[in-house]
Chain A
Amino acid sequence: MNGNLYLWLIPALPLAGFLINGILGRRLPKWVVTAVALLAPLAAFGLVLNAALGFFGFIPAASSLPYIETCPQAWINIAALHIDFSFVLDQLSLVMLLVVTGVGFLIHVYSVGYMGDDEGYARYFSYLNLFLFFMTVLVLAGNALVMFIGWEGVGLASYLLIGFYFQKKSAADAGKKAFIVNRIGDFGFLIAMFLLVSNFGTLTFTEIAAKLGMDPGWHGGVVTVIALCLMLGAAGKSAQLPLYIWLPDAMEGPTPVSALIHAATMVTAGVYMVARTHVLFDHSPFALGVVATMGAATAIFAATIALVQNDIKRVLAYSTISQLGYMFLGCGVAAYSAAIFHLMTHAFFKALLFLAAGSVIHGLGGEQDLRKMGGLWKKLPVTFAVTTVGVLAIAGIPPFAGFFSKDAILYAAFQQGIYGEILWGVGIVTALLTSFYMFRLWYLAFLGESRSPEIHPHESPWSMRGPLVILALLSICGGWIGIERFGAFLAPSVGARAAEASNWSLAIPFTSLHLSLEICLVLIAVFVALEGWMIADKYYRRKPERPARLAADFPGGYKLLAGKYFVDEFYGATVVKPLLGFSTYILGWVVDVGILGGAAWLLGGIATFAGAILQRWQSGNLRSYAAWLAAGAAAVLLFLLVPWATVLANLPAIHLSMAGH
């Protein structure tokens, strides 16, 4: 039964693509670069699809899940600590791999059109393949250390791609910001790993789960600390409060990168990690509560900022942060399968929206300001159609994908008592805001009259429109799997408790109170989504002068939102500036120039001074050498002849003989 699935090939293929294009890319003809860059993720996707089809029984299965592939050579073997380089394919990583390689491949195809004229074509694709390599390592990881390799690696790829246009200072700065802010999160991840090693003696996920399962005494305490450290890591990678600040700036990268890394896959790694280590969170209700609170707070916080942004990509960036908040809310109420479900549908519709935005930007020759768009539906019909699908999906209007997944999370939250109901309320308000700002974007960009008549937009090539259409179809149909089937499928990976929470409509009789509650909640969610649409319609179609008047009526509130709550400024004043001052003055001047530089000067000075004295010996005068030689010989003679000198010369021998006794 346990045939070989060749899991190691899934990361290895993009790695090969990275090496080929990274080393030889500039010398190869463009079609070779394209072929290498596209074949690597396509082949990886094929391997994943093969495994998935086998599991679902469409083709003879090579192996059952979970399927573990371990490097035969032990990786780290110190005292009691054994860490293998192992890959695990289970239900969770299978779903994630399908998303990563599938959406990843589509975005590679899209990039062929989008980046076609760029000088750094080969460099771009080598980075993109590098990203896929690390992302698949992260997803397949069988223990926390392997995951950490992927975790750091995707951060590196993200840094390289945000700073892709490194000649632009803002892009280079954004890359650095993303990298540095992620360090804070990685610090949490590292601490969590150290704690895992010292408390459990292992980093393998299954072994941790087994140890936790064996001893019911594992509650609170150290498990909470580990879970909170992991959560800090997840907050850094997935742009949650208070570490979300790097993601909006990451929009400096090329738009397909924003779609792949900063919307669909990398930023969801935090959610994936929480789901992967869910046993730890399950044993710490406090940590779960923190995760849920963080998710809900981030969701509504980012959504309010998105209301007033004018850069099309920034709106989407804040919306991504907000949607990631939903996923963490799902994780926080132990509805891991609902969170992963939303992760998947979000990957579809947010990648779609970003790629559509890229298509708009491409068509307008680089324009990203919503205020200069308008009336694009005539000029960019395909882009308009797919954006409409994406907007409906993210707003949560049935039967589009976002409706099902968001609803699953909100329902799971509602079942968690009073606090859960508060979180549900926050989620519903966020849903209203989401619907509003997405339709605002839709109206501003595509409907009405063009506000920049001098620009003549053109529809994108088919290499870009193809992936858009496929993603649009996925955004429509992706939710039809249904949370019941999805939850049941994921249950072996993320635990029965999660499955129970999301398995509701199968288990509960049709006439029960719960079903009517469910219908009520669904109706509220849909109503709220439509309400958001109506408000957007009123403000941006029927009375387009209203938003400006509203902003004028509440100048303080508008400024607060437009300034993104001045969090960047706050961090700048409280963290960056003191740190910079400390580095410049204390570390730079006192420690570096004063202490280290002084010590170096002192040592150098001593050597120079001693040299200046000893230099006189090396006069080059033969006779002075001879005189020293003679003097030395005379000294030896004296030493041997005078009795007390003999005693001195014998001292070491005396010591030795004493030691010998």
Chain B
Amino acid sequence: MNLNFAQEVPLSWYLILSAILFSLGVVGFLIKRNLITVFMSIELMLNGVNLSFVTFAQQWHEVKGQIFVFFVMMVAAAEAAVGLAIIIAVFRARATLAVDRIDLMKL
């Protein structure tokens, strides 16, 4: 196994990729109407952050970053379970997933 791979690709590339992923998530979150797409955008942001975690972990030879990623993935999985259940419940009740129309709690 070539362990120098990490050394060959500069740190900034990882971080730029991470930022692009995160920004895509943000933009998707902001402009998309479908609740499922919004949800997926959040996952994208989480994974962008995860990428930067592992990058730094590799950079500083620090295992805490790796561990943190596991935590994030675990929470994301739990969130997906709960979130999808909510989405299904909302769809059953309202027959729509457009976030703008789910506004019953609005003033």
Contact with A along B66-107 (1 / 0, CB 8 A): 000000000000000000000000000000000110010111
Residues of B close to A626: CB separation below 8 A: 26, 29-30
For window 36-76 of A, CB contacts with B under 8 Å fall at none
Q: Which of A279-287, A317-325, A447-455, A616-624 contacts B (4 or more CB under 8 A)?
A: A616-624
Q: Indicate if A627 sits at the interface (CB-CB under 8 A).
A: yes
Taking a contact as CB atoms under 8 Å apart, the answer to whether B26 and A620 are in contact is no
Residues of A close to B26: CB separation below 8 A: 626, 630
> How many Å from the CB of A650 to the closest CB on chain B?
25
**Once the chains are docked, how many angstroms separate the CA of A630 from the CA of B107?**
23
Taking a contact as CB atoms under 8 Å apart, the answer to whether B105 and A630 are in contact is no
Closest to A615 in B: B107
For window 603-641 of A, CB contacts with B under 8 Å fall at 618, 620-623, 626-627, 630
Taking a contact as CB atoms under 8 Å apart, the answer to whether A621 and B100 are in contact is yes
**Once the chains are docked, how many angstroms separate the CA of A621 from the CA of B30?**
11
> How many Å from the CB of A625 to the closest CB on chain B?
10
> How many Å from the CB of B96 to the closest CB on chain A?
15
**Once the chains are docked, how many angstroms separate the CA of A623 from the CA of B27?**
10
Q: How many residues of A contact B (CB 8 A)?
A: 8
For window 11-55 of B, CB contacts with A under 8 Å fall at 26, 29-31
Residues of B close to A620: CB separation below 8 A: 103, 105-107
Closest to B100 in A: A621
Closest to A622 in B: B99
**Once the chains are docked, how many angstroms separate the CA of A623 from the CA of B106?**
13
Residues of A close to B107: CB separation below 8 A: 618, 620
**Once the chains are docked, how many angstroms separate the CA of A622 from the CA of B99?**
8
**Once the chains are docked, how many angstroms separate the CA of A618 from the CA of B103?**
13
Taking a contact as CB atoms under 8 Å apart, the answer to whether B30 and A623 are in contact is yes
**Once the chains are docked, how many angstroms separate the CA of A621 from the CA of B38?**
14
**Once the chains are docked, how many angstroms separate the CA of A630 from the CA of B106?**
22
Closest to A633 in B: B26
Residues of A close to B30: CB separation below 8 A: 623, 626-627, 630
Residues of B close to A623: CB separation below 8 A: 29-31, 99
**Once the chains are docked, how many angstroms separate the CA of A621 from the CA of B33?**
11
Residues of B close to A621: CB separation below 8 A: 100
Residues of B close to A630: CB separation below 8 A: 26, 30
**Once the chains are docked, how many angstroms separate the CA of A626 from the CA of B29?**
8
**Once the chains are docked, how many angstroms separate the CA of A627 from the CA of B106?**
18
For window 456-497 of A, CB contacts with B under 8 Å fall at none
> How many Å from the CB of B49 to the closest CB on chain A?
12
Closest to B41 in A: A626
> How many Å from the CB of A590 to the closest CB on chain B?
40
Q: Which of A618, A623, A630 has the largest count of B CB atoms less than 10 A from its CB?
A: A623
Closest to B23 in A: A630
> How many Å from the CB of A640 to the closest CB on chain B?
15
Closest to B102 in A: A622
**Once the chains are docked, how many angstroms separate the CA of A630 from the CA of B42?**
13
Closest to B103 in A: A620
> How many Å from the CB of A615 to the closest CB on chain B?
9
Residues of B close to A618: CB separation below 8 A: 107
Closest to A621 in B: B100
Residues of A close to B31: CB separation below 8 A: 623
> How many Å from the CB of B32 to the closest CB on chain A?
9
Taking beta carbons and an 8 Å cutoff, which residues of B are in contact with A?
26, 29-31, 99-100, 103, 105-107
Q: Which 7 A-B pairs have the closest CB atoms?
A: A620-B106, A630-B26, A623-B30, A627-B30, A626-B29, A626-B30, A620-B107
Q: Identify 17 residue pairs between A and B in the complex whose beta-carbon atoms are under 8 Å apart, listed by A's number.
A: A618-B107, A620-B103, A620-B105, A620-B106, A620-B107, A621-B100, A622-B99, A623-B29, A623-B30, A623-B31, A623-B99, A626-B26, A626-B29, A626-B30, A627-B30, A630-B26, A630-B30
- Extra contacts, 14 of them, besides A623-B31, A630-B26 (Cβ < 8 A), are A618-B107, A620-B103, A620-B105, A620-B106, A621-B100, A622-B99, A623-B29, A623-B30, A623-B99, A626-B26, A626-B29, A626-B30, A627-B30, A630-B30
